[in-house]
Structure 1
Amino acid sequence: MKCLLVMVVSHKLPRILLMILAWSGLTTTTFYLWRNGVSVQCELGKNEYANIDRLTTSAVRNITFGLDDIFISVKTSGKFHASRLQVILKTWWNNCRNQTTFFSDEDDSNLMNTSGARILNTNCGNSHFRTHLCCKMGFEYDYFMNTGKKWWCHFDDDNYVNAKRLVKVLSGYDSNKDHYIGRPSLSYPISTTYIGRMVSFWFATGGAGICISKSLAVKMSKWSRNGRFRHSCNSIKLPDDCTLGFIINNRLGVNLTVREDFNSHLQSLKRIRIDEIASQVTLSHSADQGYLNVLNMQNVAAFSISQDPTRFLSLHCHLHPEIHWCPSKRT
């Protein structure tokens, strides 16, 4: 069966008619298949009608998938609203503002009113304790399950998200199948005790970003829905991203799909070359005890380190030089 994807205005040809045409003895039959507003023009040979659903499901998924199919959640805290969040709101959030929700532990009506950002107070507490982190993650999960989106992508407030690249990467996976996508921070499975027994599993670090398909999220419900995620955290005494790995890899038996283009502050960010930046899904920054772990933007930086300590402003100008606040001449 030879097919060509085209955008046309036509009526849907019933599948039963296609079967009749395929068995009519004609050498080929030209027709249009419709799915989600996209027409697939095909030449159908005898006995080939069984391939129709497989062909159109695969091809059309890649054409119709877009940013609106992704729910982006960002975990933050009130103490970072004026620093980390402000940088995000000036940079990558503008490329996916309608798809992004910030989950914090404080109200910030001023920031919401001035930026238009959607910031939810989870009332989970503002510490870095496991219980507070797990509370926020459970809140994100419950929120996603009510959105009707195909993907849930969780990021931290020290992440830069390349929305264009994120869409391209996820378009290669079927949200109707179980996918757990990210990057581990360890080179081996983590071990812990669960109900008196040792268990081990792989987990994707939240610091690099994590994407979960809707099919998999639905299956997580037993351990995650309506506050059960916090209970799962407490049962293994590990943080939120580890608990996701426990539920997905250990309980559900779904393997982690490792992506090298998801990056966290746990890596040496200076090793990422300038010519590799556009192909990355996430990037990060950190300043731990005086050590600055940021991208090496020395030759293309739009701002100095003092002006742009996270390097996100320079990164954004490198990817989007047309932005009005980006200097026309790099300094």
Structure 2
Amino acid sequence: MAKKNCKLWLACVVVILLLIVQGYFVAKLLSSKIPNRESLTFVQKSDISKKDYEKMVGGLPQKKAALQHHHLKRHHLNFLAENLDNKGPEPLVETDDTLTPRPLTANEQAGNNILFTLRTTRKFHEKRLPVLFDTWLTTVNTSNVFLVTDGGEDKKWKGRAGLKYIDVPCRASYQRYDLCCKAGTELSLMFRDENLHYDWLCHVDDDIYVLLKSLVEQLSKFRPREEPIYFGRSGSAWTKPRAVIHGAKYGKPGQKYHFAVGGMYCLSRAMLELAEPYLVGGKEFAKSCSNTLEPEDVTVGVVVGVLLNQSLSRTAMIYTHGLELWKETKRFPKELDKKIAYAYGWGAVHWGAPAQINHIVVPQALYSIKEDQTQFYSLHCFLHPTLSTCIKKGTG
């Protein structure tokens, strides 16, 4: 009996060893076909030619690209869930909105110390840019605005209204490596010789309306050349900070930090100088994205909170896509002009009871949703009622 049991035990050991060997060779085969995260190289225009960049990223296996896209999609779904779980507005006593502004120079009051990077992509030029040029971009000095885009030169928009046109060698996609490529180029603009006079860099997506006066007032509470400031709306409820994910090389798994929603955030020059080794330049930013295993907006939060041990200076005055915009803006109809920025929600539907199209609600809107899905024209006329186009629309 004992001899029989011994043979059975030896047979089990042999089977287990065979399974281990088989698993090893299968894993090796898969790893040879799907490159690891570190094998991805991110670049900016100054690092490599556009032709070489396209050759490099164009050859990535489809399965790898799908994995990257899935990771980014998961991030946005988590972000949406975290925000909708945060019932009501963030209490102002817990934000930096209540800090006292300091006296400003005339240059600061005009927002001329702020470098705006307006990120878009070639396929959205005709759909999104006209709305911005007709609305909030008319309220700022467009020589301070850098249009960061892809797809080659677009003569219609290059130099439009005096803004700077930055064509980056990044593919027109929302995959992580392409967004990191753009982000690294954006932040490097602050270190160009001709831009050293700027105190702030404010990143803005192409579906955001910015209220310059409110932004200037909030940023005036800080000393951007002395204080490392990372300013924006928290991407999750303040009581539920994000955690460093397993496998990341920056920080320890589970380490907590806050990141600003990617639609709009601002970095002071002092913060950018601290973060330069990690975020400034295509290769540097991309390496950080690879080390955090996160999209570009979350990566900024990891670098600031985990590596630099700094905190997010948060505001409840930026309203982005993850919020129920129709509900949020209905609560303060007479205070729309007191906020910093609004997203237009892409006309997405919130499936509730009843279903609701997610867009900002403007009192006595001059444009219907059918006429203006963004409601930016209605918002612009609400903020600037004496404009001739608004008067004509109101009396027409």
Cα distance 1:140–1:330, how it changes in 2: closer, same or farther (>3 A)? farther
Does structure 1 conserve the Cα–Cα contact (< 8 Å) formed by 2:227 and 2:268?
A: yes
Does structure 1 conserve the Cα–Cα contact (< 8 Å) formed by 2:349 and 2:358?
A: no
The answer to whether 1:213 aligns with 2:268 is yes
**Paired amino acid for 1:236:** T
Corresponding residue number in structure 2 for 1:65: 108
Corresponding residue number in structure 2 for 1:185: 235
Cα distance 1:264–1:59, how it changes in 2: closer, same or farther (>3 A)? closer
Structure 1 residue 274, shift from structure 2 partner: 1.8
Q: Deviations over 1:61-112 (max 9, x none)?
A: 5666331111111111111111111111111011111211111112211123
Question: 62-71 or 224-233: which moved more?
Answer: 62-71
Question: Which of 275, 296, 308 is the equivalent residue of 1:252?
Answer: 308
User: Could you tell me the TM-score, scaled by structure 2's length?
Assistant: 0.65
Corresponding residue number in structure 2 for 1:281: 340
Corresponding residue number in structure 1 for 2:280: 225
Paired with 1:236 and 1:59, the residues of 2 have a C-alpha distance of 36
State the percentage of identical aligned residues: 26
Corresponding residue number in structure 1 for 2:205: 156
Which structure dedicates a bigger proportion of its chain to strand?
A: 1
The answer to whether 1:121 aligns with 2:167 is yes
Does structure 2 conserve the Cα–Cα contact (< 8 Å) formed by 1:105 and 1:126?
A: yes
Structure 1 residue 301, shift from structure 2 partner: 0.8
Cα distance 1:325–1:257, how it changes in 2: closer, same or farther (>3 A)? same
Does structure 1 conserve the Cα–Cα contact (< 8 Å) formed by 2:121 and 2:150?
A: yes
Does structure 2 conserve the Cα–Cα contact (< 8 Å) formed by 1:262 and 1:283?
A: yes
**Paired amino acid for 1:129:** Q
Cα distance 1:60–1:165, how it changes in 2: closer, same or farther (>3 A)? closer
Does structure 2 conserve the Cα–Cα contact (< 8 Å) formed by 1:62 and 1:172?
A: no
The answer to whether 1:95 aligns with 2:95 is no
- Report 1:1-331 matches (<5 A): 61=104, 65-66=108-109, 67-96=111-140, 97-106=142-151, 107-112=153-158, 115-146=161-192, 147-148=195-196, 149-175=198-224, 176-187=226-237, 188-191=240-243, 192=245, 193-195=247-249, 197-198=252-253, 199-207=255-263, 209-226=264-281, 227-270=283-326, 271-272=328-329, 273-287=332-346, 290=349, 292-297=357-362, 299-328=363-392, 329=394
Corresponding residue number in structure 2 for 1:17: none
Paired with 2:164 and 2:125, the residues of 1 have a C-alpha distance of 13
Corresponding residue number in structure 2 for 1:41: none
Does structure 2 conserve the Cα–Cα contact (< 8 Å) formed by 1:264 and 1:284?
A: yes
SS at structure 2 position matched to 1:194:
coil
Aligned residues: 272
User: Could you tell me the TM-score, scaled by structure 1's length?
Assistant: 0.77
Cα distance 1:295–1:185, how it changes in 2: closer, same or farther (>3 A)? same
**Paired amino acid for 1:140:** E
Question: 237-246 or 286-295: which moved more?
Answer: 286-295
Which structure dedicates a bigger proportion of its chain to helix?
A: 2
SS at structure 2 position matched to 1:174:
coil
Cα distance 1:183–1:290, how it changes in 2: closer, same or farther (>3 A)? closer
Q: Deviations over 1:96-147 (max 9, x none)?
A: 1121111111221112365544331112111100101111110000012221
Runs of 5+ unmatched residues, structure 2: 1-100, 351-356
Does structure 2 conserve the Cα–Cα contact (< 8 Å) formed by 1:182 and 1:204?
A: yes
Corresponding residue number in structure 2 for 1:13: none
Paired with 1:315 and 1:126, the residues of 2 have a C-alpha distance of 30
Q: Deviations over 1:176-203 (max 9, x none)?
A: 2111111112122222243284143210
